[in-house]
Structure 1
Amino acid sequence: MTTDTVASAVIETEEQRALRAAVAALGKRYGREYFAAVTREGKHTDELWREAGKLGYLGVNLPEEYGGGGGGIAELSIVLEELGAAGCPLLMMVVSPAICGTVIARFGTEAQQRAWLPGLADGTLKMAFGITEPDAGSNSHRITTTARRDGAGQDADWLLTGRKVFVSGVDIADATLIVGRTEVTSTDGAKTGKLKPCLFIVPRDAPGFSRSHIAMELAAPEKQFELVIDEVRLPAEALVGDADAGLLQLFAGLNPERIMTAAFALGMGRYALSKAVDYARTRQVWKDPIGAHQAIAHPLAQAHIELELARLMMQKAAYLYDAGDDMGAGEAANMAKYAAAEAAVKAVDQAVHTLGGNGLTSEYGLATLITAARVARIAPVSREMILNYVSHQSLGLPKSY
C-alpha cells in the first residue's frame, strides 16, 4: 500500500461528511446538559441510544443484510467522535457494535449473526465485553477464565469459570462476550496442558453469572463491574467462531476497540477545546478578550493541532482495518489510541486553565472531564503497553519481559 493511497483514504467521502454533519446535529439536540443530568440521576442515555439506533447510526459498521449500514469502523468512529464533540458520548458504542458486533459479523455462525446483529445494529440489543482479570491486567496470557467441555463431541455443553473486572455496562447488556481459554488437544485428541483463547456469548441471566458494581471516581452513565463466572453452563453454540482461531478473533475485536477509544477521546478533547475557545473569545479582563493573549491562544492552537493529528492517525487505522489489513491496523490503532488520549488530556487541561476558576464549576462542566480524559490513557490498554508494542513491533527493539 503506497503512502498516497493511505493519504487519500483519510479524506472523507461525501457520504462520510454527511454522516458527520447529521450525527453532530443529533448530538447538539441532546448535548452536555442531557448527559450530565442522566449521570447525576444515576440513569442511562437511553433516549439518545434509541434515537441513534433508529437513525441507523449505531450499526453503520454492520452488514446490511442484518440491518446495518454496510460501512466500517471508519463510519462508526465518526458517530462516536461527533457525539463526544457535542458532549454526549455513548461509551457502549465502543463495546456493543464495535467489538462484539464486529467479532460476530466476522466470525460468528449464521445463527449467531441472525440472533444478535439486527439488535446490535438498531440498538434494541446491547452486548458487553469481558477480558480484563484481577490478576492478569494487561497480560492476556495470564487469563485464567477457563472453559471445558462437559462431555464428548462438538455438541457438548461448555462449563465456564473465572473472574473479570472493569466490564462496562453489564447491567444494561443482554449478554457479555467473555474472553476465556480452552484446553489444547493434540491431533490424536489427547490434552496437551496448554490453553488457547476463545470467545463465548454469556446471557445476562445465566445461572452462576453474577456481577458486583465497582465504585469509580468517574462521572459517567455507564457503570463498571466485576464478574464472577461460577461453572456457567453454556450450549455448544455459545462459542463464537472457530475454537482454533481464538487469538485472531480476539484481535479482530481489539483493533476496533482501540480505534473507537481514539474517537471517544477525540470527541471529548474537541468538546473541551470548543468551550475554552468560546470563553477565550468573550472573557475580557483588560482591554482585549483573553484569547488575544498568546499565553492563552498558543496552547489552545497547539491542542487543536494535536487533536487533528490524532484524528488523521485514527482515520488511517480505520481505513487499514476496513481494508482487511489486520496487521497494519494493529500498529495504527495502537498509535491512534495513544495520540488521541494524549491530545484529549492536554486539551481538557488547557480548557480548564483557560477558564481559571470557572473551569472547575458545575456551570461550565469541564471539571468532570479531568478524570474522564485520563480513562483513554489507561483503557483499554495503558499508554506504556502501547509504547512497548511500538518499540517491539515497529522498531524491532528487544523485550524486557
Structure 2
Amino acid sequence: MSAFSESEERRALRQAVRGLAGRYGQDYVREKSRAGEKTTELWADMGKHGFLGVNIPEEYGGGGGGIGDLAAVLEEAAAAGAPMLLMVVSPAICGSIIGRYGTAEQRRRWLPGIADGSFTMAFAITEADAGSNSHKITTTARRLSDGGDGDGWVLTGQKQFISGVDEAAAVLVVARATDAETGRLKPCLFVVPTDSAGLEATPIPMTMQMPEKQFTLFFDDVRLPGDALVGDPDDADAGLAQLFAGLNPERIMGAALSNGMARYALDKAVAYARDRAVWRDTPIGAHQGIAHPLAKVKIELEQSRLLQQKAAELYDAGDDLGAGEYANMAKYAAGEVACTATDVAVHTHGGNGLTEEYGLANMLLAARLGRIAPVSREMILNFVAMHTLGLPKSY
C-alpha cells in the first residue's frame, strides 16, 4: 500500500457500505424525514453488518479498527444518499471516550450495544449562553456525600441543539463539578439515561428536513449513581482529556459526513450534465460554464478527503495534538466543499435543482450545517492561526 492509497480492507469496507446504504438511498431518507420517522431499518441493518462498530475493540463486539474506518463508513453512506448523523455521536464521540477512558465495567456495559447499534448514546455539550465557548458551560454536577443521600451525583442545567435524543437510550453529558483539592470547577462527563427523572427533552423546530431531530435538554436535579461518571473521579484532568478524545473524532466524522454529501451532490450534477442537452443536442457538460465549476468541486473534494484521512491516521496513531490540528482543518475544508458542491449541483440542474423530485434543495441547508457544527469555521480559523501559525490569540 502506498502512502496515498487505502488498504485493501478499507476499500472493501467502503464497497460493502456503499452497497448496503445504496439499497436505502436518498428516497428512503427523504420519505422518513417527511413523515417525521426515523431511519431505524437502515441503522439496524448497518449495525447487523458490523459497520456501526468498526472502531470499537473486538473484545466488546466491535471491528477493532480505528476512526479512519468509521469515517469511511459514514462517508460512503452519505455518498450513497443516506447520511447518518448519529454515527458522529454514538460510536465516534461516545464510543471513543468510553473506550479510552471508561472503567472496565463501563466498557462492558455500554460498548457492545454501541457497536451493534442496539444502544444509541447522544452527546450533550452545547449550551444556549455558551455557544462555542465551552468554558462558559453552567451545567453542574454536585457530588452527594455518603451520609444519608448515598454515593452519587445531582445534575442541574440545560443543553441545546442535542441531536437524536428521542432515539437514544442515554446521553453523554458534559458538566462541571467542583474539584475536591482546588475547589475549582472542572469538566466531567456523565452517562445519563434518557428516562431519568428530572430530565426533560423539548424538540427544536428546524427548517431543514432530516430524520434526526434537535432538542433542548433540561436537567432538574437529575439523580445519578456514582458510576455514571466516566472514568476516575479523583483524576482532576480526566474530563478535559476525555473531551479531546471525543471532539477530535467528532470533527473527523463531521468531515466525513460533509465529504460524503459533496460526493453525492457532485455525482448527481455530473450525471445530469452528461445527459441534459439544450443547445444543438450537445450535453451541457460540454460547456465550460458547467464543466469548470464541477471540476473545481472535484479538486477541492479530493483535497478535503486527504485532510480527513490524515487527521484519522494521526488520531489512530495516538497523536492527539497532530490529530487536533488536522481534524479541525479537515472539518473546515469539508464544510466548505459540501456547501460549494450542493450549490453547484443545484445550479447545474437549473430549475430542477429546486424541485422535490431531484432532492437537492434540502441538501443546501444540510450542507450549511457543516460550516456551523460541531464548531464554526471562524473558530477553526482562530485555532489554526493561534496553534499552527503561532499568531496571538484573537478572542
| 1:11 Cα deviation after fit | 2.0
Decide which of 172, 177, 184 is 1:182's aligned counterpart: 177
Please tell me whether the aligned partners of residues 168 and 223 of structure 1 are also in contact (alpha carbons under 8 angstroms).
yes
Are 1:276 and 2:266 an aligned pair? no
Q: How many Å separate the matches in 2 of 1:176 and 1:265?
A: 24
Q: Say if 2:213 is the partner of 1:223.
A: yes
Which amino acid letter does the alignment assign opposite residue 282 of structure 1? Answer: D
**Residues of 1 paired with 2:204 and 2:79: CA distance?**
27
Q: Which amino acid aligns with 1:371?
A: L
- Provide the identity percentage: 65
Root-mean-square deviation (CA, aligned residues, Å) is: 1.2
Q: Does 1:254 align with 2:215?
A: no
Counterpart residue identity of residue 33, structure 1: D
Which residue is 1:203 aligned to?
A: 193
Q: Is the 8 A contact 1:316 1:332 kept in 2?
A: yes
Displacement of 1:57 in angstroms is: 0.1
Answer yes or no: is 1:118 the counterpart of 2:108. no
* Structure 1 residue 150 corresponds to structure 2 residue 140: no
Report the Cα offset of residue 193 of structure 1: 4.0
Q: Which runs of 5+ in 1 are unaligned?
A: 1-6, 187-191
Aligned-partner Cα distance in 1 for 2:262–2:210: 16
Q: Deviations over 1:60-114 (max 9, x none)?
A: 0000000000001000001000000011111100000000011111011111111
Give the equivalent residue in structure 2 for 1:127: 121
TM-score by length of 1: 0.95
Instruction: Return 5+ residue gaps in structure 2 as ranges.
Output: none
| SS at structure 2 position matched to 1:103 | helix
Equivalent position to 2:204, from 214, 221, 224: 214
1:345 aligns with 2:339: yes
Given that 2:199 and 2:217 are in contact with CA atoms closer than 8 Å, whether structure 1 keeps it comes out as yes
Q: Secondary structure at the match of 2:154?
A: strand
Distance 1:319 1:400 in 2: 30
TM (normalized to structure 2)? 0.97
Structure 1 residue 264 corresponds to structure 2 residue 262: no
Q: Helix, strand or coil: the match of 2:299? A: helix
3-state SS, counterpart of residue 313 of structure 1: helix
Query: How far apart in 1 are the matches of 2:13 and 2:313?
Result: 16
> Hey, which bits of structure 1, 4+ residues long, moved more than 4 A?
7-10
Q: Tell me: CA distance 1:326–1:254, structure 2 relative to 1, closer, same or farther (3 Å).
A: same
What is residue 160 of structure 1 aligned with on the other side? 155
Q: Following superposition of structure 1 onto structure 2, how do residues 2-401 of structure 1 map, counting pairs within 5 Å?
A: 8-152=2-146, 156-186=151-181, 192-243=182-233, 244=236, 245-287=238-280, 288-401=282-395
Aligned equivalents of 2:166, 2:26: Cα separation in 1 = 23
Supply the distance in 1 between the matched residues of 2:36 and 2:170 (Cα, whole angstroms): 21
Query: 1:112-145: per-residue Cα shift (whole Å, max 9, x none)?
Result: 1111111110011100000000110000000011
> Could you tell me whether the CA contact under 8 Å between 1:150 and 1:156 is conserved in 2?
yes
Contact 2:173 2:191 in 1 (8 A): yes
Contact 1:352 1:360 in 2 (8 A): yes
Q: Secondary structure at the match of 2:184?
A: strand
Q: 2: CA distance between counterparts of 1:98 and 1:9? A: 25
Query: Which residue in 2 is equivalent to 1:189?
Result: none
Quote the offset at 1:242 in angstroms: 2.5
Could you tell me whether the CA contact under 8 Å between 1:261 and 1:376 is conserved in 2? yes
Partner Cα separation in structure 1 for residue 25 and residue 130 of structure 2: 37
1:263-320 CA distances to partner (integer Å, 9 max, x unpaired)?
0001111111111000000000012100000110010000011111100000000000
The amino acid across from 2:222 in the alignment is V
SS at match of 1:185: coil
Query: What number of residue pairs does the alignment pair up?
Result: 389
Is the Cα–Cα contact under 8 Å of residues 273 and 300 in structure 1 kept in the other structure?
yes
The CA distance in 2 between the partners of 1:28 and 1:163, in whole Å, is: 38
Per-residue deviation, 1:185: 2.4
CA distance in structure 2 between the partners assigned to 1:218 and 1:127 by the alignment: 23
